[in-house]
Amino acid sequence: MSSSPFVIYRAKRILTMNPARPEATHVAVRDGRILGVGPLDELAGWGTHTLDETFADKVLMPGLVEGHSHAAEGSFWRYRYLGRFDRMDPDGRVWPGLGSIEAVIASLQETERGLATGGAAPDAPLSGWGLDPIYYGDRRMAREDLDRVSTVRAVGVMHASGHIFNVNSRALELAGLLRTGVNHPGVPLGADGLPTGELKGPDAMTMVGRHIGYDREAMANDEGGLRAFARLCVRQGVTTATDLANLLPDDAVAMMRRVTGEARFPVRIVPFRRFQALTPRQAVDHALALRGQATDRLRLGAIKLFVDGSIQGFSARLRWPGYFNGAPNGLWYTPPETIRELYALALGHGVLVHSHTNGDQATEMALDCLEAALPGQPARDHRFTLQHCQLADAAQFRRMRQLGMCVNLFPNHHFYWGDQHYEITVGPERALRMNACATALAEGVPMAIHSDAPVTPLGPLFTAWCAVNRRTASGRMLGGSERISVADALRTITLGAAWTLKLDGELGSIECGKRADFAVLEDDPLAVAPEALKDVRIWGTVQDGRLFPAAEA
């Protein structure tokens, strides 16, 4: 028996994710960790305690783990939101969705007038985000559209996928691209021989990014954006979240260590160093150096690799027969020999690598590269994870299991782009099996699901709803055979996501010895109808034993 005082919280119901005791009514917390969970009389045996009734009418779950998000979800709100769907910002304001490219242009023109009258420099860039032309039929945005906003300012818009920019003529001029003779797979040319203003993939986007307000290194050091992201996490019940493609320059790491180390910072952040502008050896060495700077609330030392692009942006790599509408195949972001070298070095040094593969051809290449790397650097528990992996079939999931891989699927796509995938990008049959959660579980692949915020809004319970219901924005059921149960979906956003981050020994379930991280819910997700899962109300979070009401975020 311990004599050190502690707190016992009573709840209406506690969903533990621990099969030995799947639910309870009380949880004991001491020094930010879970002392025990069970009935009051058992927990009282630990000694002197205080009984806290704050959550007596609430439901507790393990703190939700967002295994694929980006802190830019907080940063992007300094730019103009141009998405198709209504969306809430970190301060609680709802920005209306835009129904046409003309509405997007009008919104940017309104922003430009505000800059002009607000004292901004005449050549200050104007930036927007969240655009996706696939919602607007065959109409693509061109530089001439954004020239209607300004010919003096550089105007740039990031697509919702994060894989494409649209820019005006001035931005192209500043980047040295407003000329004929540009020969780059990510820079489409118009009939006049000049770039259309659409730039695909990291190489092309990097050429214009700093001219339109999207300098990756500067954004990595955005303290205000990190704080805004943390507020969003509290409102969505998230206690651990990834920042899954950060360049992590030294000044950004110092800022993140300082901010996350504050007594009231509410989230554990897990940044991955983006594999860009480095050799495999440099990337692994950097990851190992970062590991030495990790803290409890800033977990450093992993790498994020990009293999291909976006399905709805037609930059993902698809196996035969390719895109349903006949679009040319997408882009390879990283060559196979580089991927094999990175995998081998990371395996040899115990560095975790998560790989972005949207198309099934990209997934196949990643599997081939890991299969080639493993014999030289066998690792019993590497947990290399395929992120998105949207078109994987059953045979590929079986290969993942054999290679010891995990998968983090993206069921939000069913809602936001399911109709477009069915009708335009991959066609009905493949759309029905996209993000095949049921198959992944049946084949024994460790699985998480995610929002990829800011690509879609942060919200693990909404993501779980998508995996359970597989409804598109129009209401179509997209692949009923791949639906999973509510219980399985809740596991994927807690223990499943923690497993892919190698944090399942600390997080993801409510049991003795783990971190006292809880999502505090007003409604019981196992008692509501499955179609109401996205509407479960969130009181806030407990993180390391500290209470964070959403109303105060």
In a domain, 550, yes or no: no
Q: What is the CATH number of the domain that holds 408?
A: 3.20.20.140
Alpha helices in 301-359 (DSSP H): 336-349
Detail the DSSP E strand segments found in 453-515.
Answer: none
Sign of the torsion angle spanned by Cα atoms 353, 359, 363, 366: negative
In three-state secondary structure terms, 263 is coil
Phi then psi dihedrals of residue 29, to 5 deg: -130, 130
Give the range of the structural domain holding residue 112, as residue numbers without chain letter.
80-212
Domain count, the chain: 3
In a domain, 251, yes or no: yes
pLDDT digits (tens, 9 = 90+) for 387-445: 999 999 999 999 999 999 999 999 999 999 999 999 999 999 999 999 999 999 999 99
Q: Which of 183, 194, 236 is nearest to 69 (CA)?
A: 236
In a domain, 553, yes or no: no
Q: How far apart are CA 153 and CA 158, in angstroms?
A: 16
* Cα angle for residues 431, 437, 441 (degrees, 5° grid): 145
- Give the tokens for residue 67: 């295994």
In a domain, 1, yes or no: no
Helix axes 336-349, 360-373, angle to 10 degrees: 50
- Check whether residue 251 and residue 193 sit in a common domain: no
Per-residue pLDDT, 1: 55
Phi then psi dihedrals of residue 80, to 5 deg: -80, 125
pTM of the model: 0.96
In three-state secondary structure terms, 510 is coil
In a domain, 75, yes or no: no
Residue that finishes a domain, picked among 212, 230, 245: 212
Per-residue pLDDT, 3: 64
In a domain, 549, yes or no: no
Strand order in the sheet with 447-449: 64-66, 238-246, 268-274, 302-306, 353-357, 385-388, 406-409, 447-449
- Check whether residue 411 and residue 537 sit in a common domain: yes
**What single DSSP character describes residue 79?**
S
Phi then psi dihedrals of residue 181, to 5 deg: 90, 0
Buried b or exposed e, range 325-340, using 16+ CB within 10 angstroms: eeeebbbbbbeeebbb
CA contacts within 13 A on the Cβ side of 365: 25
In a domain, 456, yes or no: yes
In a domain, 374, yes or no: yes
Q: How far apart are CA 439 and CA 80, in angstroms?
A: 39
**What single DSSP character describes residue 93?**
P
- For the chain, which ranges sit under pLDDT 50? none
Q: What is the CATH number of the domain that holds 158?
A: 3.10.310.70
- Check whether residue 285 and residue 347 sit in a common domain: yes
- Give the tokens for residue 7: 């707190």
- Check whether residue 224 and residue 208 sit in a common domain: no
- Give the tokens for residue 528: 């509501």
- Check whether residue 195 and residue 254 sit in a common domain: no
Q: What is the CATH number of the domain that holds 15?
A: 2.30.40.10
CA contacts within 13 A on the Cβ side of 282: 8
- Check whether residue 384 and residue 266 sit in a common domain: yes
